[in-house]
């Protein structure tokens, strides 16, 4: 972890709250998608700097991250607030948000998933762990939740209502 | 989230890596315990600032946090490096680390769990969610893991080997 990481930490967390950050993910076939995230965590895990994002199982992004095990997080400028709102409202399944919003994709340094040119700060992340979020509860309730979630994932994954936490090791910040 | 939070964020994450931070927890009976954490996350979740800690299910702290649903995180001074190492090596089940290390406990503002006087920065946190960490996997493997963890928790919780993530809403930083 270096001075850059430290310097940008507070700004990233503040912008997460308002208006949100832009997360880019890439499918196995190389298709890119962008979504707005308002929840996120930064810290140290297994001795590594990590960016943790919480993604709903029904989202296009969930599918893409599962396939590529990568994502980039992009901190927007003030002028991009409208874009950030739009990318949080519609799904990549129905809209090509990247071209609709005229976002430029730039090649990343360490991952295949690109970063957004217009943004002022970029995190390149490789997923080191993924967890499905089920609150602590008794065994029976937990088992019911887990089975329901897996059934959803397999048979009707567009309607999946649980969330996964993806722990992305931060490979670069710039 | 205010300026204080922002200012202290980078320092907290840096100290987490080396030498670690001191986490205080309190049992239902009012007994206090301290442990060293080297893993942790700070960010926004459900529109709230949160401090997320990862605690092994076998630890005394896991038991205390489950009982009180609170914890405080204390950022040590440079001079406390020896104390931080010690509190990471022994268990509160065998040692009263707080008195052995002559740590002063001060009353917190919003939670019953105290903060450590000698530390230079304090986070008061109330647990808003707890998750047991099981990596994403196929259903059968997941079920085996979950059942094994619950059996451990009930019958031999001293040997519990899984981890829980406790999401603590940050009520105060000072």
Q: Considering only the beta carbons, identify the residue of B38, B50, B136 that sits closest to A44.
A: B38
Report the alpha-carbon distance of residue A75 to residue A10 in Å, rounded.
Answer: 12
Three-state SS across A98-111?
HHHCCCCEECCCCC
Q: Kindly report whether the peptide bond that precedes residue B42 is cis, defined as omega within 30 degrees of 0.
A: no
Range with lowest mean pLDDT among A157-166, B40-49, B62-71, B114-123: A157-166
* Alpha carbon of B54: minimum distance to chain A alpha carbons (Å): 9
pLDDT in the model for residue A70: 97
**Taking CB atoms and an 8 Å limit, are B131 and A133 in contact across chains?**
yes
Question: Is residue B158 very low, low, confident or very high in pLDDT (cuts 50, 70, 90)?
Answer: low
Return the structure tokens found at B143. 């079920």
Report the alpha-carbon distance of residue B44 to residue A15 in Å, rounded.
Answer: 10
Q: Considering only the beta carbons, identify the residue of B13, B40, B133 that sits closest to A131.
A: B133
Mean pLDDT by 10 residues, chain A (174 residues): 74 90 97 96 93 92 95 96 94 94 97 97 95 69 71 61 89 94
* pLDDT at residue B153 tops 80: no
* A contact test, residue of B13, B50, B63 with most A CBs within 10 A: B13
The percent of residues in chain B predicted with pLDDT above 70, rounded, is 86
Question: Is residue B152 very low, low, confident or very high in pLDDT (cuts 50, 70, 90)?
Answer: low
Q: Which residues of A touch B6 (CB under 8 A)?
A: 10, 13-14
**Taking CB atoms and an 8 Å limit, are B39 and A39 in contact across chains?**
no
Q: Which residues of B touch A14 (CB under 8 A)?
A: 1, 6
For residues B4-10, average pLDDT: 79
Return the structure tokens found at B155. 């019958």
Of A122, A82, A112, A78, the C-alpha closest to A100 is A82
For chain B, give the mean pLDDT.
Answer: 88
Return the structure tokens found at B92. 């509160």
**Taking CB atoms and an 8 Å limit, are B42 and A43 in contact across chains?**
yes
**Taking CB atoms and an 8 Å limit, are B44 and A39 in contact across chains?**
yes
Tokens 């926004």 sit on residue = B44
* Domain spans, chain A: 3-173
Q: Which residues of B touch A17 (CB under 8 A)?
A: 1, 44, 47
pLDDT in the model for residue B138: 67
Q: Where are the alpha helices (DSSP H) in B38-138?
A: 60-68, 81-89, 97-100
The residue in chain B having the minimum alpha-carbon distance to the alpha carbon of residue A136 is: B131
The residue in chain B having the minimum alpha-carbon distance to the alpha carbon of residue A1 is: B14
pLDDT in the model for residue A130: 86
pTM of the model: 0.88
**Taking CB atoms and an 8 Å limit, are B43 and A16 in contact across chains?**
yes
Report the alpha-carbon distance of residue A90 to residue A42 in Å, rounded.
Answer: 26
Range with lowest mean pLDDT among B46-50, B53-57, B154-158: B154-158
Identify the DSSP state of B87: H
- ipTM, interface predicted TM-score of the complex: 0.86
For residues B24-43, average pLDDT: 96
Instruction: Please name the CATH architecture into which domain A3-173 falls.
Output: Roll (2.30)
The residue in chain B having the minimum alpha-carbon distance to the alpha carbon of residue A20 is: B44
Report the alpha-carbon distance of residue A40 to residue B42 in Å, rounded.
Answer: 8
Q: How far is CA A113 from CA A65, A72, A73, A94, in A?
A: 10, 7, 10, 20
pLDDT in the model for residue A157: 53
Report the alpha-carbon distance of residue A149 to residue A134 in Å, rounded.
Answer: 10
Q: Which residues of B touch A129 (CB under 8 A)?
A: 135
- Whether the CB of B16 is below 8 Å from some CB of chain A: the reply is yes
For residues B84-108, average pLDDT: 95
Q: Kindly report whether the peptide bond that precedes residue B19 is cis, defined as omega within 30 degrees of 0.
A: yes
* Alpha carbon of B63: minimum distance to chain A alpha carbons (Å): 13
Residues 6+ away with beta carbon under 8 Å from B113 = B24, B25, B26, B32, B68, B70, B71, B72, B124
Q: How many helices (H) and strands (E) does chain B have?
A: 5, 9
**Taking CB atoms and an 8 Å limit, are A136 and B131 in contact across chains?**
yes
First to last CA, chain B: 12
pLDDT in the model for residue B68: 96
Return the structure tokens found at B170. 């940050």
- CATH class of the domain comprising B3-134+163-173: mainly beta
Identify the DSSP state of A50: E
**Taking CB atoms and an 8 Å limit, are A146 and B150 in contact across chains?**
no
Q: How far is CA B166 from CA A135, A152, B125, in A?
A: 10, 26, 10
* A contact test, residue of B62, B135, B136 with most A CBs within 10 A: B136
Of A107, A105, A137, the C-alpha closest to A118 is A105
């Amino acid at each position: 972890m270096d001075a850059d990481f430290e310097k940008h930490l507070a700004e990233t967390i503040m912008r997460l709250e308002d208006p949100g950050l832009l997360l880019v993910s890439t499918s196995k076939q190389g298709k890119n998608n962008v979504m707005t995230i308002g929840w996120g965590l930064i810290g140290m895990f297994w001795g590594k700097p990590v960016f943790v994002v919480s993604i709903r199982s029904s989202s296009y992004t969930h599918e893409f991250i599962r396939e590529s095990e990568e994502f980039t997080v992009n901190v927007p400028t003030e002028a991009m607030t409208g874009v950030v709102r739009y990318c949080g409202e519609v799904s990549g399944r129905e809209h090509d948000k990247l071209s609709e919003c005229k976002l430029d994709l730039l090649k990343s340094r360490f991952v295949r998933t690109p970063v957004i040119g217009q943004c002022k700060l970029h995190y390149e992340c490789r997923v080191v762990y993924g967890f499905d979020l089920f609150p602590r509860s008794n065994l029976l309730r937990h088992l019911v939740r887990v089975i329901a979630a897996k059934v959803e994932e397999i048979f009707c994954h567009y309607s999946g209502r649980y969330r996964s936490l993806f722990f992305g090791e931060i490979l670069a910040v710039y």
